[in-house]
Amino acid sequence: GLCITSVARAVVPSLITNTFHKHKQAIMSTGDYKVADISLADYGRKEIDMAEVEMPGLMSSRTEYGDALKGARISGSLHMTVQTAVLIETLKSLGGDIRWCSCNIFSTQDHAAAAIARDESAAVFA
Protein backbone atom coordinates (compact mmCIF):
# COMPACT_ATOMS: atom_id res chain seq x y z
CA GLY A 1 0.00 0.00 0.00
CA LEU A 2 0.83 3.66 -0.20
CA CYS A 3 2.04 5.23 2.99
CA ILE A 4 0.66 8.72 3.72
CA THR A 5 3.99 9.76 5.24
CA SER A 6 5.78 8.82 2.02
CA VAL A 7 3.31 10.81 -0.03
CA ALA A 8 3.68 13.82 2.26
CA ARG A 9 7.47 13.65 2.02
CA ALA A 10 7.24 13.59 -1.76
CA VAL A 11 4.45 16.12 -2.32
CA VAL A 12 4.87 18.78 0.38
CA PRO A 13 8.45 19.85 -0.46
CA SER A 14 7.62 20.19 -4.15
CA LEU A 15 4.42 22.10 -3.31
CA ILE A 16 6.37 24.54 -1.15
CA THR A 17 9.14 24.87 -3.74
CA ASN A 18 6.68 25.45 -6.59
CA THR A 19 4.76 28.02 -4.56
CA PHE A 20 7.98 29.81 -3.68
CA HIS A 21 9.10 29.96 -7.30
CA LYS A 22 5.70 31.23 -8.44
CA HIS A 23 5.88 34.07 -5.93
CA LYS A 24 9.61 34.69 -6.23
CA GLN A 25 9.15 37.30 -8.94
CA ALA A 26 6.65 39.24 -6.82
CA ILE A 27 8.90 39.48 -3.78
CA MET A 28 10.77 42.73 -3.37
CA SER A 29 13.47 43.84 -1.01
CA THR A 30 14.73 47.33 -0.29
CA GLY A 31 16.39 47.59 3.07
CA ASP A 32 16.21 44.99 5.80
CA TYR A 33 12.95 43.35 4.81
CA LYS A 34 11.39 41.16 2.17
CA VAL A 35 7.67 41.44 1.59
CA ALA A 36 5.38 40.65 -1.31
CA ASP A 37 4.03 44.16 -1.93
CA ILE A 38 5.13 47.22 0.05
CA SER A 39 2.33 49.27 -1.52
CA LEU A 40 -0.13 47.48 0.80
CA ALA A 41 1.37 49.25 3.84
CA ASP A 42 -1.34 51.92 4.20
CA TYR A 43 -4.07 49.29 4.30
CA GLY A 44 -1.96 47.26 6.74
CA ARG A 45 -1.53 50.26 9.04
CA LYS A 46 -5.33 50.76 9.18
CA GLU A 47 -5.83 47.09 10.07
CA ILE A 48 -3.10 47.23 12.74
CA ASP A 49 -4.67 50.32 14.29
CA MET A 50 -8.02 48.50 14.49
CA ALA A 51 -6.37 45.40 16.00
CA GLU A 52 -4.73 47.53 18.72
CA VAL A 53 -8.20 48.42 20.04
CA GLU A 54 -8.97 44.71 20.36
CA MET A 55 -5.72 43.92 22.20
CA PRO A 56 -5.79 46.04 25.39
CA GLY A 57 -3.37 43.81 27.28
CA LEU A 58 -0.52 44.39 24.85
CA MET A 59 -1.37 48.06 24.51
CA SER A 60 -1.28 48.66 28.27
CA SER A 61 2.06 46.85 28.57
CA ARG A 62 3.60 49.48 26.28
CA THR A 63 3.10 52.15 28.94
CA GLU A 64 3.32 49.96 32.02
CA TYR A 65 6.72 48.43 31.28
CA GLY A 66 8.47 51.34 29.54
CA ASP A 67 11.77 50.20 28.05
CA ALA A 68 11.94 46.82 29.80
CA LEU A 69 13.45 45.21 26.67
CA LYS A 70 16.00 47.94 25.99
CA GLY A 71 18.97 46.39 24.21
CA ALA A 72 17.29 43.00 23.79
CA ARG A 73 17.65 41.45 20.35
CA ILE A 74 14.49 39.50 19.62
CA SER A 75 13.83 37.20 16.69
CA GLY A 76 10.43 35.69 16.12
CA SER A 77 8.71 33.34 13.74
CA LEU A 78 4.94 33.31 13.83
CA HIS A 79 2.07 33.73 11.39
CA MET A 80 2.43 37.29 10.03
CA THR A 81 -1.00 38.74 10.76
CA VAL A 82 -2.19 42.13 11.95
CA GLN A 83 -2.33 40.71 15.49
CA THR A 84 1.30 39.63 15.20
CA ALA A 85 2.09 43.13 13.97
CA VAL A 86 0.66 44.52 17.22
CA LEU A 87 2.91 42.13 19.15
CA ILE A 88 5.95 43.17 17.08
CA GLU A 89 5.26 46.86 17.64
CA THR A 90 4.76 46.24 21.36
CA LEU A 91 8.13 44.49 21.60
CA LYS A 92 9.67 47.40 19.68
CA SER A 93 8.05 50.00 21.95
CA LEU A 94 9.48 48.15 24.95
CA GLY A 95 12.95 48.74 23.52
CA GLY A 96 13.60 45.53 21.62
CA ASP A 97 15.52 45.24 18.35
CA ILE A 98 13.17 43.01 16.38
CA ARG A 99 13.66 40.64 13.43
CA TRP A 100 10.62 38.67 12.29
CA CYS A 101 10.04 35.85 9.84
CA SER A 102 6.64 34.53 8.87
CA CYS A 103 6.30 30.84 9.67
CA ASN A 104 3.82 30.05 6.91
CA ILE A 105 3.56 31.61 3.46
CA PHE A 106 -0.08 30.58 3.23
CA SER A 107 -1.14 32.49 6.36
CA THR A 108 0.86 35.67 5.77
CA GLN A 109 -1.21 38.84 5.60
CA ASP A 110 0.91 40.79 3.13
CA HIS A 111 -0.57 44.13 4.15
CA ALA A 112 0.50 43.61 7.78
CA ALA A 113 4.03 42.65 6.75
CA ALA A 114 4.22 45.68 4.45
CA ALA A 115 3.19 48.08 7.23
CA ILE A 116 5.77 46.65 9.63
CA ALA A 117 8.49 46.90 6.98
CA ARG A 118 7.61 50.42 5.82
CA ASP A 119 7.26 51.81 9.33
CA GLU A 120 10.56 50.17 10.35
CA SER A 121 9.00 48.47 13.35
CA ALA A 122 11.10 45.40 12.62
CA ALA A 123 13.18 43.70 9.99
CA VAL A 124 10.48 41.50 8.53
CA PHE A 125 10.71 38.63 6.07
CA ALA A 126 7.27 37.43 5.01
Q: How far is CA 34 from the centre of its chain?
A: 10
Whether CATH 3.40.50.1480 fits 26-125: yes
Share of the chain above pLDDT 70, in %: 75
Phi, psi of 82 (to 5 degrees): -65, -30
**What would the pLDDT profile of 14-67 be if each residue is shown by its tens digit?**
444 444 444 443 444 457 899 999 999 999 999 999 999 999 999 999 999 999
Work out the burial of residue 110: count CB atoms within 10 Å of its CB; fewer than 13 is exposed, 13-18 middle, 19 or more buried: buried
**pTM of the model as a whole:** 0.76
